[in-house]
Amino acid sequence: MSSIVIDDQTLKGLLKEALIEVLQERPGLLRDMLSDAVEDIGLTRAIKEGESTAEVSKGAVMKALE
């Protein structure tokens, strides 16, 4: 089995070309990835905030949802 040796600049250029091609062919992909990242950040913050607040009963939650 043979191996391929590639220098950093060539690899960087190939990755750049591939990324540009993906973004041109699938323009919504970047938007979707950013949207998912923002949702994940928000969920993480909500979980951390919830860990430092007082617990409430299931009944209180259900009442608030009604």
8 backbone dihedrals φ, ψ, rounded to 5°: -55, -45
Task: Classify residue 25: in a domain, yes or no.
Answer: yes
Distance CA 8, CA 34 (A): 27
Tell me what pLDDT residue 30 has: 87
pLDDT tens digits along 7-44: 999 999 999 999 999 989 998 998 999 999 999 999 99
Question: What is the b/e burial string over 38-62, where b = at least 16 CB atoms within 10 angstroms of the residue's CB?
Answer: eeeeeeeeeeeeeeeeeeeeeeeee
**Within-domain flag for 2:** no
The Cα 51–Cα 28 span in angstroms is: 35
Whether 32 is in a domain gets the answer: yes
Range of the domain at 56: 8-65
**pLDDT the model gives residue 15:** 96
Cα 30 to Cα 23: distance, rounded to the nearest angstrom: 7
